[in-house]
């Protein structure tokens, strides 16, 4: 059995112990970082970020930078001004916050002014500790939630934005890589402490038995992708499983554990099994070109059938807040192709497609959204809602209970009955 590891704590020793740079070199890297985002970041139009004020605010701290570690902390703070989970450094320190969604096991947001848990990641520490959707966040590591999120709120916003609060809440709940979390949560007027990183911090060493799991029960196929949409080896593994699904009556494709994104080659390989002609599946747009030249650049991508590979029976796709980036792209593609019923919570809502850059002196890498992505009907990908959207606070997804999977089975039963009547 092959075990695939997905560590959330990235390798940091090479850059943290690199040759010491001088203040001028750190300033050069900061300017490159700030200018690159100013020119290429795709989502300034929906942010309240004052990017010029960001430069003024943070460049004051450059004179005190003595190490790459210090510089990393400053850059992480700059990225928080965008309150964008899809914008991050490609390295970190042990005290850096875990990435959202790939490095967290709870999803939360403010609902009617209350910070609520909306979903808990299957099989991870929060679920094992007994945390469920619907609980209200009272404190994080014994710090009241309002104070706990304060360090992660943007400092230069032109106007208030509820999304900045939600972003800061999720970052605070994610924790860092070495301090176990204590989450004080309220349910039915009772506050209870939960310890999702005890007895071990599962999010630092995520393991999967394989790239993809599968099963057939009552002639219904089930395929679960294990956070491997960026791995081209998934194509052969998926093809092999699909070959065994030929005699099933319907199929469930579970994308609820795909938070780390992927590439369009793998995405089109999966989608290609379910179409019998060329079809549009996703729209792209690069705002930077229009900002620079006044000429809009956009295009629609096509998925094509794959020779000898076609599955035309009913399909249900499962999504969650840990369906991220490429997983979101595949999900909205199936919806746009009118090829599947999508069931689950809202997805990760990650903005667009990221490009990666490297700073000239420290060589620190960073990534952020440059392309905007859309459903073929024009809906921004990050705003997509499943066909059947579940409220897990109403029906908590407990450790041995899976409302989305049960809804998928019921949906398939209805589809098969309709088909039989015809």
Span 52-69, pLDDT tens digits: 999 999 999 999 999 999
Low-confidence residues of the chain, pLDDT below 70?
Answer: 1-19, 396-400, 420-422
| 72 and 177 together in one domain | no
| 335-384: pLDDT as tens digits | 999 999 999 999 999 999 999 999 999 999 999 999 999 999 999 999 99
Find the CATH number of the domain harbouring 199.
Answer: 2.30.42.10
**At which of 204, 239, 256 does a domain end?**
204
Helices (H), 60-197: 68-80, 125-129, 145-149, 162-174
- What kind and span of H or E run contains 323? none
**At which of 204, 221, 241 does a domain end?**
204
Q: Does a structural domain hold residue 99?
A: no
| 78 and 144 together in one domain | no
User: What is the C-alpha separation between 208 and 298, in angstroms, rounded?
Assistant: 37
Radius of gyration over every alpha carbon of the chain, rounded to an integer in angstroms: 22
Instruction: With beta carbons less than 8 A apart as the criterion, state whether 292 and 224 touch.
Output: no
| 248 and 340 together in one domain | yes
Q: Does a structural domain hold residue 118?
A: yes
Find the CATH number of the domain harbouring 320.
Answer: 3.90.226.10
Range of the domain at 394: 208-421
| 213 and 336 together in one domain | yes
Q: What is the DSSP letter of 233?
A: H
| 70 and 148 together in one domain | no
As given in the structure block, the two tokens for residue 291 are 């900002």
User: What is the C-alpha separation between 347 and 333, in angstroms, rounded?
Assistant: 14
With the C-alpha atoms ordered 322, 313, 247, 282, is the resulting torsion angle positive or negative?
Answer: negative
pLDDT, position 420: 67
Which region holds residue 130: left if phi is over 0, alpha if psi is between -120 and 50, else beta?
left
pLDDT, position 10: 46
Q: Does a structural domain hold residue 94?
A: no
**HSE on the CB side for 353, CA within 13 Å?**
15
Q: Does a structural domain hold residue 100?
A: no
| 307 and 401 together in one domain | yes
pLDDT, position 417: 85
Q: Does a structural domain hold residue 277?
A: yes
User: What is the C-alpha separation between 169 and 166, in angstroms, rounded?
Assistant: 5
Among 96, 23, 91, smallest CA distance to 60 is for 23
- Chain centroid to Cα 221, Å, comes to 26
| 320 and 399 together in one domain | yes
| 306 and 412 together in one domain | yes
| 40 and 113 together in one domain | no
| 26 and 149 together in one domain | no
With the C-alpha atoms ordered 387, 392, 398, 401, is the resulting torsion angle positive or negative?
Answer: negative
Q: Does a structural domain hold residue 96?
A: no
pLDDT, position 205: 85
Find the CATH number of the domain harbouring 56.
Answer: 3.30.750
| 153 and 74 together in one domain | no
**At which of 204, 238, 253 does a domain end?**
204
Domain count, the chain: 3
| 303 and 348 together in one domain | yes
């Amino acid at each position: 059995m092959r075990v695939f590891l997905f560590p959330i704590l990235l390798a940091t020793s090479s850059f943290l112990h690199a040759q010491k740079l001088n203040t001028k070199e750190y300033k050069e890297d900061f300017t490159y970082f700030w200018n690159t985002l100013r020119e290429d970041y795709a989502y300034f139009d929906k942010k309240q970020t004052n990017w010029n004020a960001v430069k003024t605010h943070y460049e004051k701290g450059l004179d005190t930078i003595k190490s790459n570690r210090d510089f990393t902390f400053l850059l992480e703070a700059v990225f928080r001004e965008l309150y964008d989970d899809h914008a991050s450094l490609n390295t970190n320190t042990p005290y850096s916050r875990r990435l959202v969604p790939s490095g967290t096991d709870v999803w939360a947001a403010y609902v009617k002014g209350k910070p609520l848990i909306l979903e808990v990641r299957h099989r991870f520490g929060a679920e094992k500790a007994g945390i469920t959707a619907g609980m209200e966040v009272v404190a994080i590591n014994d710090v009241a939630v309002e104070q706990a999120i304060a360090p992660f709120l943007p400092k230069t916003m032109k106007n208030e934005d509820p999304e900045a609060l939600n972003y800061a809440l999720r970052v605070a709940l994610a924790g860092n890589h070495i301090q176990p979390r204590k989450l004080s949560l309220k349910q039915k007027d009772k506050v209870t402490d939960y310890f999702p990183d005890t007895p071990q911090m599962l999010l630092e060493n995520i393991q999967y038995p394989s790239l993809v799991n599968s099963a057939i029960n009552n002639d219904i196929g089930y395929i679960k992708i294990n956070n491997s949409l960026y791995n081209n080896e998934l194509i052969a593994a998926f093809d092999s499983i699909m070959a065994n699904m030929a005699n099933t009556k319907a199929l469930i494709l579970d994308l609820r554990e795909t938070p780390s994104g992927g590439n369009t080659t793998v995405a089109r390989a999966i989608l290609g099994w379910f179409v019998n002609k060329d079809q549009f599946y996703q729209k792209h747009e690069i705002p930077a070109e229009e900002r620079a030249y006044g000429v809009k650049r956009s295009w629609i991508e096509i998925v094509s059938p794959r020779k000898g590979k076609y599955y035309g029976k009913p399909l249900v796709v499962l999504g969650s807040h840990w369906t991220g980036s490429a997983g979101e792209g595949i999900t909205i593609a199936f919806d746009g192709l009118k090829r599947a019923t999508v069931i689950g919570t809202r997805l990760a809502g990650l903005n667009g497609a990221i490009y990666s850059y490297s700073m000239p002196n420290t060589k620190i890498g960073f990534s952020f959204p440059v392309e905007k992505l859309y459903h073929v009907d024009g809906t921004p990908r990050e705003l997509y809602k499943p066909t059947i959207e579940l409220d897990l606070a109403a029906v908590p997804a407990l450790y041995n209970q899976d409302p989305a999977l049960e809804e998928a089975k019921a949906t398939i039963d209805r589809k098969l009955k309709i088909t039989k009547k015809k």
